[in-house]
Structure 1
């Protein structure tokens, strides 16, 4: 890997670090309390998965950049433009979820992000098949994230779907 590869791997983390600096005080209890989902991973697992996925995505973008000859000419505009859009939207989703506490808006952005990732994979496939395949774990993680976000959004709209505490302090799920 050329030295530029390290830049491509680190680039997605810059936004993630900024989001973490803005929202770190909100993250530790993000899926706890009465709204806790049994299948919701702890925030440290979420951070580890996001970090890994962003590294893999950065490497995949490097492969596309390299296979299209490097530089920043017109052949790279669509493949890397879609990638840049998905990075910006993924950072926005995290801010909407953790800082703005808006699971509905986060869910809409996740659906848009899902479409962008699929589009990016389809555009990348003829350029570099491995790069396109490296986006599949991201799609899987977006599915999990969208399911959690949907559940939290639904529970915020429909209190009857939220777990109810019993006299012993345990939570009963409807």
Structure 2
């Protein structure tokens, strides 16, 4: 029963990071931006992120189950950092309308995800491998973020494309 409660806690933590994406929606500002043709349709983001957040939570739980908090303090600390960085992206991009700042932040997120994978792998390979699709999606999201920033950075600041 304790293990199941910890799994729920990891899922809650993971989906809590997703909450900023619900609070800071794309809206009219985003619709007006110049975006690349290779951008996926808007409807695709929610289901992809839902699967990824479930995998992120499961990954953390698998590592905890294998090593415990004290046995995996560093990997779980880096895991927490990547969740915080994940939560910060939507407010920067959609909330503050700062694609340039969000691009810098997503690079930090990418590094934190990679570090989490590297730190998880020795203790639990499955936990590490569950994060690979997340790293791939964030790689794609970073490319999209950079493209949107480059395409819109010459717009007046009042349009928010900084």
Q: Using structure 1 for the length normalisation, give the TM-score.
A: 0.79
Counterpart in the other structure of 2:101: 105
Per the TM alignment, residue 30 of structure 1 is displaced from its structure 2 partner at its CA by 6.2
Q: Using structure 2 for the length normalisation, give the TM-score.
A: 0.85
Counterpart in the other structure of 1:7: 9
CA deviation digits over 1:32-66, x for unaligned, max 9? Answer: 34613222123332122122111101100000000
Q: Indicate yes or no: 2:150 matched with 1:154.
A: yes
Counterpart in the other structure of 2:41: 42
Q: Pick closer, same or farther for the CA change 1:30–1:148 going to 2, 3 Å.
A: farther
Structure 2 CA distance, aligned partners of 1:30 and 1:87?
Answer: 26
Contact conserved, 1:63 with 1:128, CA < 8 A, in 2? Answer: yes
Runs of 4+ deviating beyond 4 Å: 28-31
Q: Gaps (5+ residues) in structure 1?
A: 160-174
Q: How many residues align?
A: 153
Contact conserved, 2:33 with 2:148, CA < 8 A, in 1? Answer: no
Structure number with larger C-alpha Rg: 1
Secondary structure of residue in 2 paired with 1:86: helix
CA deviation digits over 1:92-128, x for unaligned, max 9? Answer: 0111111111111111111111111111111100000
What root-mean-square deviation, in Å, do the aligned CA atoms of Structure 1 and Structure 2 show?
1.9
Mapping 1:71-90, distance limit 5 Å: 72-73=69-70, 75-90=71-86
Structure 1 CA distance, aligned partners of 2:61 and 2:77?
Answer: 13
Q: Which moved more, 1:37-46 or 1:128-137?
A: 37-46
Secondary structure of residue in 1 paired with 2:151: helix
Contact conserved, 2:66 with 2:123, CA < 8 A, in 1? Answer: yes
Higher relative contact order (CA 8 A, sep 6+): 2
Structure 1 CA distance, aligned partners of 2:94 and 2:19?
Answer: 14
Structure 2 CA distance, aligned partners of 1:34 and 1:19?
Answer: 18
Counterpart in the other structure of 1:171: none
Mapping 1:55-74, distance limit 5 Å: 55-68=54-67, 70=68, 72-73=69-70
